Structure 1
């Protein structure tokens, strides 16, 4: 599975980019833009058993493990959710099990200054995606 952005966008790069914005609107636009960079999931993969439970919008998650690194393909039918998925993929895609388990997602999202601005259902959906990935790698 190739990298979802074609080139590697890391969690650190996302933190640095987001810290350059002073307004929530600018951050929001940037998140939407990252979401547009994600490849669309093949319609054949959008099956009910791949849906992430706990998300208000539809979110499909496919994972692969090559013995060393995890790869994820995640898609959603909602624009802002695709952007949030991009943030999750920057942290988890092509990482080892140990790196994923050790990653502090709460601190990461706090640094991005997003959670306070998301609706409770979006925040819960984001948590559900992260929780599902962390369950997969156990």
Structure 2
């Protein structure tokens, strides 16, 4: 499966920095680029459960392709969400179902820095995306 352009950009950006400190800075920069959610989207309806930090996710589908927006109250998580969105935005429900999160963060060189709780949280976000995509409208 070919990667979306944003995912290719992410790979290019994250294969450069050497140290974890450089990657963490880059991660936070990516997080700052997330499109803001409306105040009413910071509600329980959009909250992803299973994350230690608070995460909100909104998904829309157009022409069979999903676009997600997400944010978190934690800076590092916002960066990880930005990388997840780079990987999944523009995919169909079927493509979304095949995304391998562990492989994606391994390619980015970030897997070993993800604590089990962060990995579980990101998996919960991906799972929520899949639920939205396979729901009544998807």
TM-score in terms of structure 1 length:
0.86
3-state DSSP of counterpart to 1:137: helix
1:88 deviates by 0.8
- Runs (4 or more) in structure 1 with deviation over 6 Å come to none
Instruction: Name structure 2 gaps, 5 residues minimum.
Output: none
Post-superposition Cα deviations, 1:10-31, rounded to whole Å, max 9, x if no partner, equal: 1122112111111111111111
1:9 deviates by 5.6
Alpha-carbon distance change, 80 to 9 in structure 1, aligned in 2, over 3 angstroms: farther
1:99 deviates by 2.5
Q: What is the number of residues matched between the two proteins?
A: 131
Give the equivalent residue in structure 2 for 1:126: 122
TM-score in terms of structure 2 length:
0.86
Instruction: Name structure 1 gaps, 5 residues minimum.
Output: 1-7
1:108 deviates by 1.0
1:85 deviates by 0.7
Counterpart of 1:97 (choices 93, 96, 104) is 93
Give the equivalent residue in structure 2 for 1:76: 72
